[in-house]
Structure 1
């Protein structure tokens, strides 16, 4: 039940305000309907969610120091808006976690953030809370990735726009991509961390200079 609450789309982390780059593709008319968004979402799952978020969650579960992982994420998330989005949502999740899912591990990471020694990235905040709750790694990976996909799909339904049924079809298809990512992540190495397509990162960087936009990233 705690994991369901932690990954609920109604959890007030501010995810509704971020496109994590797909709005730039809408502006360039590369994403304009259900099919084209499905292509973008599949690429995003297979790239950024796998090689940044997913690996960060796995490494924290395996005992890598949270301060080291926090610094690596700050370095690997090259687009400023995406890096700031991760920190904004992560900081909010740390605040929520401190109230409803308190633990010594969470308090340690939160202290590092409040004292300026760490940024407070969302996947690490999630992983700290999930591990303290005793959630197994595979379940934590699937939950985090699918929660991110759900937020992005809900935002795409508003922005493109798409119908609600289209959103549900997209989520069903994305579930297979998430499952594939969860299977792949345990076999990756530290050298794979942050290996994201330059095209995706360039599009995310262009977003902050876009003429008009709905989202913060």
Structure 2
């Protein structure tokens, strides 16, 4: 296997220190409401989250970022950074995503020497950009020469792995059950990437109202183990 591909896969490890383990992105709201409580109900929620939020936000943005990098149009990336942040109505989820993006950027800068990453960091420090994990991950994939579709697929995979590990703790699910879900979702991720490849910029920001509601409702939960 290509060493650069292996380097990108390293970012998919649930132990990669981005702070994603602290965020459920609305899942915990459904757990407390009794909607998500076992493997089947979690898998249903995960499918909705993947195909009705990630595809039209992070996933589509990642594809557009990669294409902008190919055309050396950085202004498009900075615009997508803003869109990804301001279209996220839940304050907890919005701020949590920014923190994950900043931590991921700090970590990958210590691993990879890339002017592109430094430029992104400088923009964030100057309050010109917010920072988003989908953008950081895609920048790394591009700099390593990993193909666009593979980079997008791995980003979605990293998001799914993180959510499954959080569900293992919160529902709770057994580790074996969690690994079975990750295995089952490999095909779902491939389907999601195919959809992303067919979308236009006008499709960006389409999300399921129920998921947005759960993310905003999380702010009112009194007893919780996640920040969002």
TM-score normalised to structure 2 length: 0.93
C-alpha distance in structure 2 between counterparts of 1:74 and 1:108, whole Å: 19
Q: Which residue of 1 aligns with 2:219?
A: 208
Q: Which residue of 1 aligns with 2:31?
A: 26
Q: Which residue of 2 aligns with 1:4?
A: 9
Say how many residue pairs are matched. Answer: 217
Give unmatched runs, 5+ long, in structure 2: 1-5
C-alpha distance in structure 2 between counterparts of 1:81 and 1:186, whole Å: 30
Q: CA deviation at 1:22?
A: 0.4
**Is the CA contact (8 Å cut-off) linking 1:90 and 1:122 kept in structure 2?**
yes
TM-score normalised to structure 1 length: 0.97
Are 1:40 and 2:40 counterparts? no
C-alpha distance in structure 1 between counterparts of 2:147 and 2:83, whole Å: 23
Deviation >4 Å, runs of 4+: none
**Is the CA contact (8 Å cut-off) linking 2:98 and 2:132 kept in structure 1?**
yes
2:105 to 74, 94, 110: 94
Give unmatched runs, 5+ long, in structure 1: none
Measured on the aligned residues, the alpha-carbon RMSD in Å equals 1.0
Matches within 5 A, 1:165-184: 165-184=176-195
C-alpha distance in structure 2 between counterparts of 1:154 and 1:162, whole Å: 9
C-alpha distance in structure 2 between counterparts of 1:79 and 1:33, whole Å: 25
Deviations 1:125-153, CA, capped at 9 Å, x for gaps: 11111111111111111101011100100
